[in-house]
Structures are given as C-alpha cells and as structure tokens.
Amino acid sequence: TQLLEQSPQFLSIQEGENLTVYCNSSSVFSSLQWYRQEPGEGPVLLVTVVTGGEVKKLKRLTFQFGDARKDSSLHITAAQPGDTGLYLCAGETGGFKTIFGAGTRLFVKA
Amino acid sequence: NAGVTQTPKFQVLKTGQSMTLQCAQDMNHNSMYWYRQDPGMGLRLIYYSASEGTTDKGEVPNGYNVSRLNKREFSLRLESAAPSQTSVYFCASSGQAGDTIYFGEGSWLTVV
C-alpha cells in the first residue's frame, strides 16, 4: 500500500513566523501536488511539482520536490492568519488513483 | 463559476437507510471521482469514472455504488447506510488522469 505521511499533523504559530511542512513516502511519484483546504470547503490546488529537485514559489510559499521524487516540502515565509487551513499533499502514481496524505492543520495567530 | 456542485450539503441517516449523493461538473471534464475524508486519514478514493460510460473501484468501495449518468453527472449511492459511513464526501473532476483535480464543497453525512 502506498502511503504519504505528512508532518507535523498540527501546527500553531504566531503571525510572521516561518514554517515548513513535510510530505514523505517510500514510493516514487510521477508528480506531487499540494492542496489547501479551508473549513467547509473542498481542497484547492496550490501547485504541482513534476521534476525531481524542482522548486516552485507561490508568493510566500515555496514548494520543493525531492530528488528521488519520494518526498516534498512546503515552506511558508512570514505566515499570516489567511494561511490558516489544512494543507494536503497528493502523489500521482499514474492512472486515476491519486494518493492523499492526511494533512497538516495550520493555525496562524494574529 | 459553478465548477463541481454536489448535493446535499448535510444529511443525517438512520442505519439501514439508503440515499444518493448527486454531483455535477460544468468544466467538460472526462474524469470524475468520489472521495471520503475522515479525521487523520486524508482523502480516500471510493469510486472513479475515467470517462463517460465507465466506472471503477477505488481504495474503499465497499458499501457504495456509483452511476456516471452522463459526462456531467456522477452519483454515489449508499444502499444500506452504516455508522462507519459517517464522513465528509467530496465529488471531484479532472480533464484526465494526472490533471488538476477540482473538488466540490463536500457533503457531511452522519449515520446514526
């Protein structure tokens, strides 16, 4: 069974702090996606990384795909209350069975 | 823009009752999915439809059936609801395998 483990599960930080969340697996993925989910809504795609070692930036968010395409990280610089939410990583194995991690629940206090 | 629309938003069922969750997408996507989301377990695929006229089992299909009514609509049916099916259900769609997946807003189902 392919698994994606996310850490930490919960994170509560002050506005302005930096943070990194991790997504790890023993499996190789053809691509990896990061989603953000707000309460009462469905997940919304933030980014897709495809190439091993790839780094993508989205404003204050930096996403990195591991060289071996088994892991990924999301770094947020100077977190803001609007960053609060559940961050999910999802690995593509080919076909239709995308594997989702359980998520990191982030709370940014003003 | 509507995107993926699913109904109902909330439902309480008694054990043994049946119900159907409806889903429609207006993005002309080929592929549609039903996921359930439980605390600490992430999103798990119940069934998917790669294209109109086809359906396949996902990771947790037991207790569910699906119908791809046409290209726009993909319904999920619980024939005899059980408390273990208490969850948040998400319908989703994508152009094809590996494309961005767009999710609906979720349906909160409680089985008592």
Residues A53-101: pLDDT tens digits?
Answer: 999 999 999 999 999 999 999 999 999 999 999 999 999 877 777 899 9
Number of H helices, E strands in chain A: 0, 11
Judge whether residue B98 has pLDDT over 80: no
The number of beta carbons lying within 10 Å of the beta carbon of residue B66 is 24
The 10s digit of each residue's pLDDT in A29-41 is 999 999 999 988 9
pLDDT at B41: 82
Residue to mutate among B43, B90, B93, with most A CBs inside 10 A, is: B43
Pair B49, B68: CB distance under 8 Å: yes
Pair B61, B49: CB distance under 8 Å: no
CB–CB of A96 and B50 under 8 A?
yes
The number of beta carbons lying within 10 Å of the beta carbon of residue A5 is 14
CB < 8 Å to A97, chain B: 45, 48, 58-59
Q: How many CA atoms lie within 13 A of B82 on its CB side?
A: 4
Judge whether residue B25 has pLDDT over 90: yes
- Chain A contact for B4 (CB, 8 A cutoff): yes
- Chain B contact for A39 (CB, 8 A cutoff): no
- Chain A contact for B44 (CB, 8 A cutoff): yes
From residue A94, how far is each of A11, B24, B81, B100 by CA, in Å?
31, 25, 32, 13
Of B40, B97, B103, Cβ closest to residue A96: B97
pLDDT at A2: 62
Helix (H) or strand (E) segment spanning residue A88: strand A85-92
Instruction: Output DSSP code: residue B60.
Output: -
Closest CA to B72 of B18, B103, B32: B32
pLDDT at B97: 76
Average confidence score pLDDT of chain B: 94
Judge whether residue B1 has pLDDT over 70: no
- Chain A contact for B88 (CB, 8 A cutoff): no
The 10s digit of each residue's pLDDT in B28-72 is 999 999 999 998 888 999 999 999 999 999 999 999 999 999 999
CB–CB of B40 and A9 under 8 A?
yes
CB–CB of A41 and B105 under 8 A?
yes
- Chain B contact for A66 (CB, 8 A cutoff): no
Report the SS3 class of residue B85.
helix
Over residues A43-51, mean pLDDT: 94
CB < 8 Å to B7, chain A: none
